[in-house]
Amino acid sequence: MSYASPSPAPSSLAASAGQPDLAALYRGNLIPLHVVLAGLTWVLHDYLVTLEDEIRYIWPQRLNFSKIMFFWIRYYTIALLLFDVVQIHVFARPGITNNNLCVAMDTIIRVVGAVSLWSVEIIMQLRVYALYNCSRRIAAINVFLFLCSIAAFFWILIYNHDHRAAIIANAIHLPLPGCPTVHSGIEWVQWVPATAHEGVLFVFALVKTGQSVWALVWADGAATGEKKWTGKGRGYRALLPLHTILLRDNVLYFFGVSVLLVFNNAWSVYLPLSCFSPQNVTHIPWFSYGPFHAAIGIMTSRMLINLRKAAAQENELNLRVFFPDRMVLDTNSSGSRMQIETV
């Protein structure tokens, strides 16, 4: 899709105005137009790929908070990417944008993205709560930090909103496809509170995962009096592979979300040298929030599906160990449901 402009080409306009960075601003505005489409395609592809697992492992569950959150994150992510695509491509048409509209939409985009992130962090807090045997102390700490991160987010959001108009004032009249992708001030700090809270959650998950793996490795040694793990073990715990333990504790998922948040902060770190030439410290171009929204939603949906899948496989393993002569698979039922029959 092309977006024609009645004004002269940016390069010639830049030359006449003596602003050599105008062409770079124009190219920078083109990047989100293409990347956000890739993000939507990624989300829809992942949805179709994982739909069978969703039907098999999520749909049979009774309606509870976990199931509601799964559907909320799953389908809110799709709606969010559709919103990103429509907003960016509509604003790219000539004559649509103005200073007030760009300032308002910049704030709206951050809020709708924050709703997705906060939903994910609620899931992560519940997971940490479960990992620590429903510890109220751990839950209270995480809820307090969560509320602090939200309060800090809105303080930074209000500050950036009040200064956004002045930052883009000299660029809003230029023939750019969409609102100017100019970043300055403390805009890059917007997601730092959420990143810090995510780091705390990751540490909690990492510590508990280390404890679980250590207990599994030394379980057999404690039972036999030896100081090493023989690999035979006692009961069904020794039959669980290490990657299942890691999946159960979701440490890889926590790490992945942390990396995404760090990257999201990194690509918006600019030094405000001037409106037309803010220096990108990390030299990462602005992609829009589309890829971030897509990655967060996909990772969370897959984590919840894999969690249910691991639980189903662990239940099957329990039955195989404790009822080896009384177990038959119900191949006509969804998921990994079992039937116990007298053989």
* Token output for 114: 């924050």
The highest-confidence range among 59-68, 241-250, 313-322, by mean pLDDT, is 59-68
Residue predicted with more confidence, 208 or 266: 208
- The whole-number pLDDT of residue 23 equals 77
Helix (H) or strand (E) holding 329: strand 327-329
Give the separation between CA 89 and CA 35, rounded to whole angstroms. Answer: 11
Judge contact between 291 and 85, C-beta under 8 A: no
How many Cβ atoms from other residues are within 10 Å of residue 329's Cβ? 12
Judge contact between 5 and 94, C-beta under 8 A: yes
* Whether residue 76 has pLDDT greater than 50: yes
Mean pLDDT of 121-141: 91
Helix and strand tally (H, E) in the chain?
Answer: 9, 4
Chain-centre distance for alpha carbon 44: 16
Whose CA is closest to 42, among 220, 257, 292, 338?
292
DSSP codes of every residue in 283-305: -PPP--SHHHHHHHHHHHHHHHH
Picking from 23-37, 47-61, 182-196, which range would have the lowest pLDDT averaged per residue? 182-196
Give the separation between CA 277 and CA 315, rounded to whole angstroms. Answer: 59
Percent of the chain with pLDDT over 90: 36
**Residue given tokens 């395609």 in the structure block:** 41
- The whole-number pLDDT of residue 73 equals 96
Q: What is the mean pLDDT of the chain?
A: 77
The highest-confidence range among 20-24, 28-32, 223-227, by mean pLDDT, is 28-32
Mean pLDDT of 275-282: 50
| Helix 99-131 vs helix 290-322: crossing angle, to nearest 10 | 20
* Token output for 219: 């379980």
Strand ranges in 206-250 using DSSP code E only, listed in sequence order:
none
Judge contact between 112 and 292, C-beta under 8 A: no
Judge contact between 149 and 194, C-beta under 8 A: yes
pTM for the predicted model, two decimal places = 0.77
Give the separation between CA 305 and CA 308, rounded to whole angstroms. Answer: 5
- The whole-number pLDDT of residue 107 equals 92
Residue predicted with more confidence, 6 or 106: 106
